[in-house]
């Protein structure tokens, strides 16, 4: 025992030195793998120090950022699993937060104040009460449980299950139970921090050694006066916990915590209980706006779920006003998006395309700068001017293979397509930001918006007879969800052969 007591400070010293070293010379944020070399308390300390060094946000670190992967280099809109950082991780579950959008790319500045997080808890567990300095919109991806919210001097307890969405105001104290016998409870969250744009922190109400509660930072005199109790009595309550933020609870406890109690916030809205906006053999689209769940108005959000049948695709479309944060709930697939901001050759994002409304002087200056940049590097501009093309109308394809938990950001106005893999159905959750009066515009299929053009406009625009244009626009008989690549080509070939 005495030996262990001596060993601990030595281990701590070593881990301090190691973190200091890797901070100077190596990748300072590759905490997880490096700290795993240590055991027990030393490992915990190593992780904590590393987190503090690596992150502006207390308790949040980037987990193994693997920069420079080919796919990501071409696509600042894609966030793979390694772009989440664990805020809490215990045997009972984990809470992880996606990398800050604007830190990833300046192209995501429009949504910089928002964050995405995922909470996963194991069957028959309790998640400790805490509050965040962020408004929250959540979606239950799988499982079932109960959520209790202490809000305006009341407790509201609601059952939650797959398909539920709910808005929770910043500062509400929340605790949760996974009451299922075998299934994990998985919750996706869109967070809107209220004090620092794009940064939030969690305040643990209860705790002890693990998790630590904010109460422990107050002075003894203040605590004794505030609770009107001696320090020892306070410690008996606020320093006992050592099981972490999420841990197993007994059947009786879970049963007791599952009793509903209604209040001002109102119960969650189940998106999958709503009639789908579109449905055919190739997929279903469920959409919820503030017309269905009024509290979405508080954040100007909407929520949608697209179920794309294996091998099928969602029609090319864009969102006129909303930026969509797409999170893969189930399955794998591909996103393709046309983007004028990302350079094809260098794979780097750049401020490209004509920005209408610039002051003339600054536009000239901008063009001069662009010219200089071109002299140094990219030959694209020269090639383009040789071909007599004007600047401002080139689009790059950004594409990503996505699987469960991956995030793909679809900025407003950007045409996008999602395709399910051949093996599994693809389920995509979309949190829409700036959502009011956003009606998806479809660019192919039966409800292709271009069909509305007059014959003359089609001929002028496409420089081809309108019959030819119509033949193309009318070839796809389905709307919203289509047969996927292989299937569609197969069908086309068959039709072609029979013609
Ligand atoms: Cu773009």
- Residues flanking ion ligand 1, Cβ below 5 Å: 339, 341
Distance 401 CA to ligand 1 centre (A): 18
Distance 350 CA to ligand 1 centre (A): 10
Coil, helix or strand at residue 75: coil
Q: Is the pLDDT of residue 240 over 90?
A: no
Place 394 in a pLDDT band, splitting at 50, 70 and 90.
confident
The overall average pLDDT reported for the chain is 81
Q: What are phi and psi of 445, to 5 degrees?
A: 100, -175
- Over range 146-168, report the average pLDDT: 96
Distance 101 CA to ligand 1 centre (A): 14
Distance 415 CA to ligand 1 centre (A): 10
The CA dihedral of 84, 87, 89, 90, to the nearest 10 degrees, is -160
Distance 73 CA to ligand 1 centre (A): 14
Q: Is the pLDDT of residue 497 over 70?
A: no
Q: Domain 102-206+241-269: state its class.
A: mainly beta
- Over range 137-148, report the average pLDDT: 97
**pLDDT at 43 (0 to 100):** 61
Q: Is the pLDDT of residue 110 over 80?
A: yes
Q: Are 209 and 241 in contact (CB under 8 A)?
A: yes
Place 209 in a pLDDT band, splitting at 50, 70 and 90.
confident
**pLDDT at 70 (0 to 100):** 43
pLDDT digits (tens, 9 = 90+) for 5-53: 444 444 444 444 443 333 333 333 444 554 555 556 556 654 554 454 3
What's the angle, vertex CA 165, arms to CA 250 and CA 408, rounded to 5? 110
Cα distance between residue 485 and residue 411, in whole Å: 25
Distance 437 CA to ligand 1 centre (A): 22
Cα dihedral sign, 32-33-35-37? positive
Distance 341 CA to ligand 1 centre (A): 4
Query: 491 exposed, middle or buried (CB, 10 Å; 0-12, 13-18, 19+)?
Result: exposed
- Over range 367-396, report the average pLDDT: 50
Distance 280 CA to ligand 1 centre (A): 30
For 383, the enclosing helix (H) or strand (E) is: helix 380-386
Give the range among 5-14, 145-154, 211-220 with minimum mean pLDDT.
5-14
Distance 42 CA to ligand 1 centre (A): 45
pLDDT digits (tens, 9 = 90+) for 447-458: 999 999 999 999
Q: Are 433 and 322 in contact (CB under 8 A)?
A: yes
- % residues pLDDT > 70 (the chain): 73
- Over range 233-237, report the average pLDDT: 89
**pLDDT at 358 (0 to 100):** 45
Distance 75 CA to ligand 1 centre (A): 10
Distance 430 CA to ligand 1 centre (A): 18
Place 160 in a pLDDT band, splitting at 50, 70 and 90.
very high
Distance 348 CA to ligand 1 centre (A): 12
| DSSP string for residues in 39-67 | -HHHHHHHHHHHHHHH-SSTT----S--T
Distance 414 CA to ligand 1 centre (A): 7
**pLDDT at 64 (0 to 100):** 35
pLDDT digits (tens, 9 = 90+) for 56-79: 333 333 333 333 344 445 689 999
pTM attached to this predicted model: 0.77
**pLDDT at 208 (0 to 100):** 82
**pLDDT at 1 (0 to 100):** 40
- Over range 165-177, report the average pLDDT: 97
Distance 423 CA to ligand 1 centre (A): 30
């Amino acid at each position: 025992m005495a030996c262990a007591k001596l060993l601990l400070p030595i281990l701590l010293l070593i881990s301090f030195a190691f973190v200091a070293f890797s901070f100077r010379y190596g990748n300072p944020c590759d905490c997880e793998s490096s700290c795993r070399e240590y055991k027990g308390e030393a490992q915990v300390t190593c992780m904590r120090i590393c987190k503090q060094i690596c992150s502006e946000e207390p308790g949040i670190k980037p987990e193994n950022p693997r920069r420079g992967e080919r796919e990501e280099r071409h696509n600042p809109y894609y966030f793979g699993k390694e772009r989440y950082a664990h805020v809490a991780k215990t045997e009972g579950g984990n809470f992880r937060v996606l990398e800050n959008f604007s830190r990833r790319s300046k192209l995501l500045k429009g949504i910089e104040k928002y964050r995405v997080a995922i909470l996963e808890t194991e069957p028959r567990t309790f998640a400790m009460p805490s509050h965040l300095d962020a408004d929250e919109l959540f979606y239950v991806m799988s499982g079932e449980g109960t959520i209790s919210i202490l809000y305006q001097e009341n407790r509201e307890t609601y059952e939650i299950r797959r398909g539920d969405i709910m808005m929770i105001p910043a500062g509400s104290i929340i605790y949760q139970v996974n009451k299922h016998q075998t299934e994990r409870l998985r919750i996706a969250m869109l967070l809107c921090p209220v004090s620092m744009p794009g940064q939030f922190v969690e305040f643990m109400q209860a705790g002890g050694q693990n998790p630590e509660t904010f109460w422990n930072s107050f002075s003894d005199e203040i605590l004794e006066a505030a609770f009107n109790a001696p320090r020892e009595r306070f410690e008996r309550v606020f320093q006992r916990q050592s099981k972490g933020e999420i841990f197993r609870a007994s059947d009786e406890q879970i049963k007791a915590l599952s009793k509903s109690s209604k209040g001002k916030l109102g119960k969650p809205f189940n998106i999958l209980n709503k009639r789908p906006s579109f449905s055919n053999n190739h997929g279903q689209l469920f959409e919820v706006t503030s017309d269905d769940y009024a509290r979405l108005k508080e954040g100007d959000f909407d929520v949608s779920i697209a179920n794309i049948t294996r091998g099928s695709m969602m029609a090319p479309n864009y969102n006129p006003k909303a930026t969509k944060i797409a999170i893969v709930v189930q399955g794998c697939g591909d996103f393709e998006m046309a983007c004028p901001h990302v350079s094809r050759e260098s794979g780097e994002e750049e401020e490209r395309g004509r920005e209408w409304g610039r002051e003339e002087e600054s536009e000239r200056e901008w063009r001069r700068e662009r010219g200089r940049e071109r002299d140094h590097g990219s030959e694209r501009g020269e090639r383009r001017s040789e071909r007599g093309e004007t600047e401002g109308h080139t689009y790059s394809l950004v594409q990503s293979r996505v699987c469960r938990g991956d995030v793909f950001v679809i900025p407003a106005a950007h045409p996008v397509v999602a395709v399910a893999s051949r093996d599994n159905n693809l389920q995509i959750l979309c949190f829409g930001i700036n959502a009011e009066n956003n009606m998806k515009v479809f660019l192919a299929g039966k409800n292709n918006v271009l069909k509305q053009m007059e014959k003359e406009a089609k001929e002028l625009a496409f420089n081809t007879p309108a019959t030819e244009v119509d033949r193309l626009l009318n070839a796809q008989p389905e709307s919203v969800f289509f047969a996927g690549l292989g299937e569609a080509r197969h069908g086309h070939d068959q039709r072609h052969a029979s013609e």
